[in-house]
């Protein structure tokens, strides 16, 4: 019995007990970590599952009470939904996140993302309302102001778009091109002006901003008004020129227009004519008529390519003449390229 008592007091025994306790604490800590991460994962999974069938605002409230997912996680989740085009789910999550924001910076972030998602989903009016609320808190938010101009432009509320552009100008943002473009759209939609007056204003705007040239050309063509075609860079209206009557474009001094006329009617293609037009001219000489040209439009900013013309890039919303590429195609396919 004495021997056993002495062994309990042995220093080595104390060291063994100490290491055993350290080991048990480390093991429990490790196990708790695994348990917590699993719990968190299941919690998010359950949350997402609930969201799929969520139908009304009461469900959002239940979620808020039930789950303790951080606003950062909600932001990431909403962002991934928005990126994959599931805007409804993204909007729902941003709305939840907005109810639990802790500071003004978070509120600014979630309001902007919510407005942007409404915009992408096509809810222009709601998006404008969200951005107005954001600008009430942060009047110098340039990105919100820029998107607001696009929204008003799409809603055909041109005067409002111009007012927002004035605010951007005050913040040092260059908006001259945008202003001329919106003024051109405003004039086109103004029923109080005669066609002659519209033509004169569009002509003035074209001299200031080449982007308006295409609007002027389309307007003059539609209303059968005389126009000096060389006021407009042919590269920006290549597709419209291809579809135009020869009489409208025959007096041009631009190489590209001469190349188009040669490709359509035969004759000599000018030097520096685009390859596709030169080929068509040569084929025309051989009486081969099964070839024609199609067009493709590339944003000079984000390099996105689209089959139809745009002034404002559908992907990055940059307002700039796209690069128009010629495509040599079979004549029977021509009907698919409607301009
Ligand atoms: Zn773009």
Q: Where are the domains of the chain?
A: 238-339
Residues with Cβ within 5 Å of ion ligand 1? 299, 301-302, 304, 313, 315-316, 318
d(CA 106, CA 88): 21
Question: Torsion over CA of 222, 228, 233 and 239, rounded to 10 degrees?
Answer: 30
On the CB side of 239, how many CA atoms lie within 13 Å of its CA? 21
Per-residue pLDDT averaged across 293-320, rounded?
A: 95
pLDDT at 207 over 50: yes
pLDDT at 40 over 70: no
Q: How far is the CA of 192 from the centre of ligand 1 (A)?
A: 34
Q: How far is the CA of 92 from the centre of ligand 1 (A)?
A: 28
Dump pLDDT digits (tens) for 19-33.
888 888 888 888 877
Q: How far is the CA of 7 from the centre of ligand 1 (A)?
A: 81
Residue 6: both structure tokens together: 């002495």
d(CA 279, CA 245): 21
Q: How far is the CA of 303 from the centre of ligand 1 (A)?
A: 6
pTM for the structure as a whole: 0.74
Q: How far is the CA of 179 from the centre of ligand 1 (A)?
A: 19
pLDDT at 46 over 60: no
User: Mean pLDDT across the chain, nearest whole number?
Assistant: 86
d(CA 220, CA 164): 30
Dump pLDDT digits (tens) for 51-81.
444 445 556 556 654 667 788 888 888 999 9
pLDDT of residue 45: 47
Contact 269, 281 (CB under 8 A): yes
User: For residue 120, which of 130, 109, 108, 134 has the smallest C-alpha distance?
Assistant: 130
Q: How far is the CA of 113 from the centre of ligand 1 (A)?
A: 20
């Amino acid at each position: 019995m004495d021997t056993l008592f002495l062994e309990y007091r042995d220093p080595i025994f104390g060291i063994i007990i100490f290491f055993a306790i350290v080991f048990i604490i480390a093991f429990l800590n490790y196990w708790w970590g695994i348990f917590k991460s699993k719990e968190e994962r299941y919690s998010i999974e359950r949350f997402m599952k609930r969201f799929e069938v969520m139908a009304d605002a009461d469900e959002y409230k239940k979620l808020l009470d039930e789950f303790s997912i951080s606003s950062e996680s909600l932001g990431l989740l909403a962002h991934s939904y928005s990126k994959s085009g599931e805007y409804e789910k993204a909007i729902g999550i941003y709305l939840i996140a907005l109810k639990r924001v802790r500071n003004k910076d978070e509120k600014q972030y979630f309001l902007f993302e919510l407005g942007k998602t409404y915009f992408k989903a096509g809810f222009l009016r709601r998006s404008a309302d969200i951005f107005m609320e954001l600008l009430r808190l942060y009047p110098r938010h340039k990105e919100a102001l820029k998107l607001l101009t696009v929204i008003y432009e799409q809603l055909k509320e041109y005067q409002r778009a111009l007012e927002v552009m004035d605010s951007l100008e005050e913040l040092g943002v260059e908006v001259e091109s945008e202003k001329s473009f919106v003024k051109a759209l405003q004039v086109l939609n103004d029923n109080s002006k005669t066609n002659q007056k519209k033509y004169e204003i569009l002509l003035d705007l074209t001299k200031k901003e080449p982007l308006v040239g295409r609007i002027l050309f389309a307007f003059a063509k539609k209303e059968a008004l005389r126009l000096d075609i060389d006021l407009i860079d042919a590269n920006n209206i290549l597709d419209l020129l291809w579809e135009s009557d020869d009489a409208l474009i025959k007096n041009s001094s631009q190489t590209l227009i001469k190349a188009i006329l040669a490709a359509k009617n035969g004759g000599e293609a000018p030097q520096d004519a685009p390859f596709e037009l030169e080929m068509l001219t040569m084929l025309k000489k051989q009486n081969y008529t099964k070839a024609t040209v199609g067009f493709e439009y590339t944003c000079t900013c984000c390099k996105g390519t689209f089959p139809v013309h745009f002034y404002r890039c559908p992907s990055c919303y940059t307002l700039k003449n796209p690069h128009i590429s010629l495509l040599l195609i079979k004549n029977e396919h021509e009907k698919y390229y409607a301009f």
